């Protein structure tokens, strides 16, 4: 029997996963991780008010969530001093990235990113048949000038940049981002992924300017707000660009429970301040652990710390493998020379201590293996 054929594009796509989840690794290991520090989740948890709000709507889970996410968008608009029509809520930044790529990138259209930046963007560009071009990091930072030059050279439809950056944790200030936005070619859209922005120093986010048609900003409740498991992200942009999502999005895609939780989380800015303080403490602990092991760590504007293992990718991969074997879930950059590092999420004191206890053995194992 002949099979129904996939589209020519779908047939060429690998059935691969950009990230293997920690649960899959746990099933493979046959044991749970002792510390979950690999996915930049917020170990400090969601706001207790968000938990209560979600709990209160659980009996209402029989009703579809409002497909317009009206109340959440209205609250976000007030929070940012913009209008609801400048905001699209979606099932995490991953889903919103997929939609913005689908809206702009057809077969062979160019898109530009940094080699080793967030791979889900690359996944979506490939998924819609686009041609991905990349520029190297510069001193462990994404390089705005190189991104613009490559976009001009390739007549790119999209540029992707994360500020602060994942997986390095580095960042540019608002003035640099404002210059980048101004330099975006007229026929190109800049995706500014600000997943970690609430954890960055004041003066990292450029001013909101929803009149500007060449930038779309992505935010999430998954990081500082501690709600990765609830899947709530949002995009900020010009009204006609935001409205274009209505051409392709799943209208009833948002969980009613998650909408209620995000609304309450947004209103609990005290919890956000608490998380910021905990993250700062944890960043300092992780930097200290690196130092005690003779390693350096990169400054971070995120809820993770990238630790330079002091050698090459093979060495860092060996360190990572030993940490995993010891029950410490961490990840690392994919591309050289950033892959000399491992990336450790901020955790509770216990989790950070577990990492600190495991690191010396991991380094020793890697040294022995690669001697």
The DSSP result for 126-169, as a single string, is HHTT-EEEEE--BTTB--HHHHHHHHHHHT-SEEEEESS-TTT-
Binding a second copy (rule: CB under 8 A), the pick from 98, 167, 169, 356 is: 98
Q: How far is the CB of 84 from a second copy (least distance, A)?
A: 12
Q: How far is the CB of 45 from a second copy (least distance, A)?
A: 5
Enumerate residues 299-318 that contact a second copy by CB under 8 A: none
By CB under 8 A, the residues from 131 to 190 that bind a second copy are 157-158, 186-189
Report the alpha-carbon distance of residue 129 to residue 191 in Å, rounded: 18
Among 352, 336, 217, residue whose Cα is nearest residue 289: 352
Q: How far is the CB of 318 from a second copy (least distance, A)?
A: 26
User: Cα(89)–Cα(224) distance, rounded to whole angstroms?
Assistant: 17
In the complex, minimum distance from the CB of residue 168 to a second copy, in angstroms, rounded to a whole number? 21
Residue 54 lies near a second copy (rule: CB under 8 A)? yes
The helices-and-strands tally (H runs, E runs) of the chain is 13, 12
Look at residues 193, 217, 9 and name the one whose alpha carbon lies nearest to residue 106: 9
Query: Which residue lies nearer to a second copy by CB, 14 or 294?
Result: 14
Return the residues of window 108-127 that contact a second copy according to CB under 8 A. Answer: 109, 127
Residue from 43, 181, 183, 318 touching a second copy (CB under 8 A): that is 43
Rounded CA separation 21/304 (Å): 17
Q: Is 6 in the site for a second copy (CB under 8 A)?
A: yes
Applying CB under 8 A, which of residues 64, 209, 360, 370 lies at the interface with a second copy? 64
Q: Which of 49, 102, 179, 361: binder of a second copy (CB under 8 A)?
A: 102
Rounded Cα gap, residues 254 and 69, in angstroms: 8
Four-residue CA torsion sign, 272, 276, 278, 283 = positive
- Please list every residue from 251 through 310 that binds a second copy, using CB under 8 A: 251-258, 261
103 binds a second copy (CB under 8 A): yes
Q: CB within 8 A of 48, min separation 6: which ones?
A: 268, 271
| Residues 204-233 close enough to bind a second copy by CB under 8 A | 213-214, 222, 226-231
């Amino acid at each position: 029997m002949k099979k129904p054929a996939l589209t020519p594009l779908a047939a060429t796509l690998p059935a691969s996963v950009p990230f293997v989840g920690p649960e899959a690794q746990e099933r493979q290991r046959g044991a749970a991780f002792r510390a979950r520090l690999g996915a930049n989740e917020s170990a400090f948890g969601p706001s207790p008010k968000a938990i209560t709000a979600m709990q209160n709507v659980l009996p209402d889970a029989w009703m579809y969530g409002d497909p317009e996410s009206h109340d959440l968008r209205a609250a976000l608009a007030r929070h940012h001093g913009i209008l609801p029509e400048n905001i699209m809520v979606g099932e995490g930044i991953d889903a919103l990235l997929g939609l913005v790529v689908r809206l702009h990138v057809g077969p062979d259209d160019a898109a530009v990113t940094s080699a080793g930046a967030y791979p889900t963007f690359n996944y979506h560009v490939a998924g819609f048949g686009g041609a991905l071009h990349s520029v190297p990091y510069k001193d462990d930072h994404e390089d705005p000038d190189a991104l613009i030059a490559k976009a001009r050279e390739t007549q790119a439809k999209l540029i992707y940049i994360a500020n602060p950056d994942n997986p390095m944790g580095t960042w540019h200030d608002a003035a640099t981002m404002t210059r980048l936005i101004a330099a975006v070619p007229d026929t190109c859209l800049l995706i500014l992924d600000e997943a970690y922005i609430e954890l960055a120093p004041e003066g990292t986010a450029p001013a909101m300017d929803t009149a500007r048609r060449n930038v779309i900003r992505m935010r999430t409740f998954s990081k500082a707000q501690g709600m990765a498991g609830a899947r709530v992200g949002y995009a900020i942009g010009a009204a006609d660009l935001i409205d274009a999502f209505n051409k392709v999005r799943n209208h009833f895609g948002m969980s009613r429970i998650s909408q209620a939780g995000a609304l309450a989380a947004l209103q609990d800015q005290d919890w956000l301040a608490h998380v910021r303080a905990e993250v700062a403490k944890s960043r300092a602990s992780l930097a200290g652990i690196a130092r005690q092991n003779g390693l350096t760590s990169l400054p971070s504007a995120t809820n993770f710390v990238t630790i330079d293992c002091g050698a090459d990718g093979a060495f860092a991969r060996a360190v990572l493998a030993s940490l995993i074997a010891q029950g410490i879930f961490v990840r690392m950059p994919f591309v050289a020379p950033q892959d000399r590092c491992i990336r450790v999420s901020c955790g509770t004191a216990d989790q950070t201590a577990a990492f600190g206890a495991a690191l010396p053995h991991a380094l020793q194992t890697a040294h022995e293996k690669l001697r």
